[in-house]
């Protein structure tokens, strides 16, 4: 039943040979790879306003200059990533760039933060998407956690089915979102210049406000920079572009930067201009749309495309996480299971792991993942900084033609990213400190896992000329519970093993039982030696494993193997297992884990 449910959810298994890759044209690539970055405008401006809300609405005008600062940062990032595209045409993830140029540990820091970050991408984007839905339909507000979880489950199933980034259908919502926001901005401009009265007059730009100091401004800037998460996506995905891949990728990156700049600037400005005030139950973008269009179809259209693009942004986490996990697993830093392709050729373990953890996050934070945005942003800027720094090292080491200019661009990028990271730690330490805990833990974990895999590899390696195990003979031990056909069966099987000795062992719980059983056995199978081990504490496992220990020690001296033959009967129906004690199972598990004996299970399948 579980099987057919799985089939229905994720579809029939695919052959390895069916693994193909579609190349992306620029317009499709722009849509698919930008959803994470573009969707950030749905929560980035709100984050800036929230910072100033502590001081009061008079301070909201500061969001405009802060927005300008974010645009400068965006420009620096786009220029830096453009260079990474040309330098790493096979995809320059922060993990690869940092590992190659800065060394193993910076690489692991980048990889570790990204790994955690993709989980946060899913949690934050889906929660924000849910907020867009509940802003439009306030009655759903009470159910935002189950709605968000349902979205995650839906995306997880889609990805297990193997909806790859290349599915064209995913491109439409992005363009619809961009179009909707353009209409919103144009409507704002029209209103602005037609001189219609504003709903609420704003404090003019430049008004001094008590309580707004450097700290608050830096804090607001850091908040605003959360709108830039996701700009690295294009540089990681160059191999997916149509030839000439690098040129196309670079052009797509520029287009994305432009779109992002326009949307971000427009939203920040009109949110200020229309006097929108943050509200825990209605997003700023929703308020802006409502102020502009009223609760008409255009409003619902904006909310719908916002929700969709945020969910798509979560989907980019599903493309990136499993690939990064494969890289880390191939380098033996995380469990090998992340390299296994599932029935539909996706890296299903990574997909499931990502889905599960983001659901846990959503539940733990009750869908209030805006608390996670600073953590998420800092988790992006750390690898940003590392990969820009890696590029600096690369230019200095390789010194290609015109390297000084390139060096300068990446140096500015690295410096700005480092500064933003620093600002996060200084102004939002209360939100971002967890990164200082989990990053070292993660890297310690990576290290331990790699160490284990290396040790295992060494132990499993066959060294020519070194004999593995010299076996001179075999002693068979046969635990018997009574005189039954199951036991008869196992004795007959044990006889075919040509062992040097077969010892049947019985563990009676009562004193009189010992002699009685020995007599019956002598009558039944006189040729097999029987040992009875009276167990005053009514445990079968203990006396038996003690006996096996004794036999093993003696056998080891003369290079004999000890084989324990365990008779086990299998009832015909699942529920029947409850009716029988699981001694065989316990015995097998304990012997295999604790002792160096071979365990042979002779099944006896019941017919009725």
Q: Which of 6, 7, 399, 495 contacts a second copy by CB under 8 A?
A: 495
Least spacing, CB of residue 336 vs a second copy, in Å: 7
Least spacing, CB of residue 480 vs a second copy, in Å: 12
Q: Which two tokens stand for residue 89?
A: 């045409």
Q: Which of 207, 247, 366, 492 contacts a second copy by CB under 8 A?
A: 492
Could you tell me which stretch among 14-22, 32-40, 113-121, 368-376 binds a second copy (CB under 8 A)?
14-22
Give Cα 492 to chain centroid, integer Å: 52
4 binds a second copy, rule: CB under 8 A:
no
Q: Which of 26, 341, 447, 590 contacts a second copy by CB under 8 A?
A: 341
Could you tell me which stretch among 59-67, 310-318, 387-395, 593-601 binds a second copy (CB under 8 A)?
593-601
Q: Find tokens 């593995």 and name the residue.
A: 468
Least spacing, CB of residue 319 vs a second copy, in Å: 21
Cα 428 to Cα 379: distance, rounded to the nearest angstrom: 13
Cα 211 to Cα 126: distance, rounded to the nearest angstrom: 34
Q: Which of 68, 337, 364, 408 contacts a second copy by CB under 8 A?
A: 337
Cα 520 to Cα 144: distance, rounded to the nearest angstrom: 70
Please, which of residues 521-580 interact with a second copy by CB under 8 A? Answer: 524, 536-539, 561, 563, 568-571, 576, 578-580
CB distance 25 to 243 below 8 Å: no
Phi, psi of 186, rounded to the nearest 5 degrees: -65, -45
Cα 38 to Cα 256: distance, rounded to the nearest angstrom: 8
Least spacing, CB of residue 518 vs a second copy, in Å: 17
Cα 79 to Cα 250: distance, rounded to the nearest angstrom: 10
352 binds a second copy, rule: CB under 8 A:
no
196 binds a second copy, rule: CB under 8 A:
no
CB distance 249 to 236 below 8 Å: no
Nearer Cβ to a second copy (16/404): 16
Binding mask 148-187 for a second copy (x = CB under 8 A): ----------------------------------------
6 binds a second copy, rule: CB under 8 A:
no
586 binds a second copy, rule: CB under 8 A:
no
Q: Which of 6, 295, 336, 522 contacts a second copy by CB under 8 A?
A: 336
Phi-psi region of 399 (alpha: psi -120 to 50; beta: other; left: phi over 0): left
Neighbours of 224 (CB within 10 A): 28
Nearer Cβ to a second copy (306/327): 327
Q: Could you tell me which residues are beta bridge partners of residue 473?
A: 560
Could you tell me which stretch among 67-75, 109-117, 406-414, 481-489 binds a second copy (CB under 8 A)?
481-489
Nearer Cβ to a second copy (335/422): 335
Please, which of residues 411-470 interact with a second copy by CB under 8 A? Answer: 449, 452-453, 455-456, 458-462, 468-470
Give the Å distances, CA to CA, from 171 to 34, 288, 309, 402: 10, 25, 10, 37
Cα 241 to Cα 259: distance, rounded to the nearest angstrom: 20
Q: Which of 488, 514, 518, 549 contacts a second copy by CB under 8 A?
A: 488
Least spacing, CB of residue 511 vs a second copy, in Å: 8
Q: Which of 335, 425, 438, 549 contacts a second copy by CB under 8 A?
A: 335
272-311 per-residue burial string, b: 16 or more CB within 10 A, e: under 16: bbbbbebeeebbbbbbbbbbbbeeeebbebbbbbbbbbbb
Nearer Cβ to a second copy (371/451): 451
Give the Å distances, CA to CA, from 420 to 117, 167, 413, 415, 416: 17, 35, 11, 9, 6
348 binds a second copy, rule: CB under 8 A:
no
Please, which of residues 90-119 interact with a second copy by CB under 8 A? Answer: none
Nearer Cβ to a second copy (20/208): 20
- Give the helix ranges, DSSP H, for 294-402: 297-330, 348-364, 373-398
Nearer Cβ to a second copy (90/511): 511
Nearer Cβ to a second copy (15/397): 15
Cα 432 to Cα 512: distance, rounded to the nearest angstrom: 70
Identify the CA nearest to 39 among candidates 137, 132, 162, 169.
132
Indicate the burial class of 549 (C-beta count within 10 angstroms; 0-12, 13-18, 19 or more): middle
Q: Could you tell me which residues are beta bridge partners of residue 567?
A: 602
Q: Which residues contact 351 (CB under 8 A, 6 or more apart)?
A: 156, 159, 160, 318, 321, 322, 342
516 binds a second copy, rule: CB under 8 A:
no
Total chain residues near a second copy (CB under 8 A): 73
Nearer Cβ to a second copy (371/594): 594
Q: Which residues contact 142 (CB under 8 A, 6 or more apart)?
A: none
Least spacing, CB of residue 208 vs a second copy, in Å: 53
Nearer Cβ to a second copy (192/488): 488
Nearer Cβ to a second copy (214/460): 460
Least spacing, CB of residue 603 vs a second copy, in Å: 5
Could you tell me which stretch among 38-46, 188-196, 404-412, 489-497 binds a second copy (CB under 8 A)?
489-497
């Amino acid at each position: 039943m579980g099987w057919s449910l799985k089939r229905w959810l994720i579809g029939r298994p695919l052959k390895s040979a069916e693994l193909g890759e579609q190349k992306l044209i620029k317009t499709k690539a722009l849509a698919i790879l930008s959803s994470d970055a573009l969707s950030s405008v749905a929560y980035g401006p709100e984050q800036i306003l929230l910072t100033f809300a502590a001081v009061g609405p008079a301070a909201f005008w500061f969001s405009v200059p802060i927005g300008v600062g974010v645009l400068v940062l965006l420009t620096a990032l786009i220029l830096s990533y453009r260079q990474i595209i040309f330098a790493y045409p096979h995809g320059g993830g922060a993990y690869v760039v940092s590992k190659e140029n800065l060394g193993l540990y910076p690489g692991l820091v980048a990889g570790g933060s990204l790994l955690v970050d993709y989980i946060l991408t899913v949690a934050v984007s889906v929660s924000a998407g849910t907020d867009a839905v509940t802003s439009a339909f306030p009655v759903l507000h009470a159910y935002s956690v189950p709605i968000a979880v349902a979205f995650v489950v839906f995306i997880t199933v889609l990805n297990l089915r193997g909806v790859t980034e290349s599915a064209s259908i995913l491109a439409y919502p992005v363009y619809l979102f961009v179009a909707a926001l353009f209409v919103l901005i144009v409507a704002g401009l029209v209103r602005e210049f037609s001189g219609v009265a504003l709903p609420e007059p704003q404090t003019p730009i430049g008004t001094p406000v008590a309580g707004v100091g450097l700290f608050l401004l830096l804090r607001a800037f850091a908040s605003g920079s959360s709108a830039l998460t996701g700009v690295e996506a294009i540089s990681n995905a160059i191999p997916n572009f149509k030839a000439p891949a690098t040129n196309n990728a670079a052009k797509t990156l520029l287009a994305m930067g432009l779109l992002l700049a326009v949307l971000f600037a427009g939203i920040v400005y009109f949110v200020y201009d229309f006097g929108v005030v943050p509200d825990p139950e209605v997003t700023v973008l929703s308020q802006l749309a409502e102020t502009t269009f009223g609760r008409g179809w255009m409003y619902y259209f904006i909310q719908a495309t916002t929700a969709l693009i945020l969910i798509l942004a979560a989907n980019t986490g599903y493309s990136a996480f499993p690939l990064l996990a494969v890289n880390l697993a191939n380098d033996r830093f995380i469990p090998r299971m992340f390299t296994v392709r599932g029935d539909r050729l996706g890296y299903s373990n990574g997909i499931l792991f990502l889905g599960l953890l983001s659901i846990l996050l959503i539940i733990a934070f009750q869908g209030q993942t805006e608390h996670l945005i600073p953590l998420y942003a800092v988790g992006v800027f750390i690898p940003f900084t590392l990969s820009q720094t890696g590029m600096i090292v690369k230019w200095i080491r390789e010194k290609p033609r015109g390297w000084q200019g390139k060096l300068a661009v990446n140096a500015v990028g690295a410096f700005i990213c480092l500064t933003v990271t620093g600002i996060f730690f200084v102004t939002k330490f209360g939100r971002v400190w967890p990164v200082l805990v989990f990053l070292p833990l993660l890297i310690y974990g990576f290290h331990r896992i790699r160490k284990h895999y290396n040790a295992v590899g060494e132990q499993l390696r066959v060294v020519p000329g070194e004999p593995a195990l010299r076996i001179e003979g075999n002693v068979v031990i046969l635990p018997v519970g009574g005189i039954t056909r199951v036991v008869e069966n196992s004795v007959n099987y044990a006889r075919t093993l040509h062992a040097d000795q077969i010892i049947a062992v019985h563990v009676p719980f009562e004193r009189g039982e010992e002699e009685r059983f020995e007599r019956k056995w002598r009558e039944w199978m006189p040729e097999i030696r029987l040992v009875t081990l009276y167990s005053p504490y009514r445990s079968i496992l203990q006396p038996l494993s003690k006996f096996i220990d004794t036999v093993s020690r003696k056998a080891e001296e003369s290079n004999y193997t000890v084989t324990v033959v365990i008779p086990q009967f299998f009832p015909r129906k699942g529920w029947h297992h409850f009716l029988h004690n699981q001694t065989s199972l316990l015995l097998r598990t304990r012997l295999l884990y604790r002792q160096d004996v071979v365990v042979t299970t002779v099944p006896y399948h019941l017919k009725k």
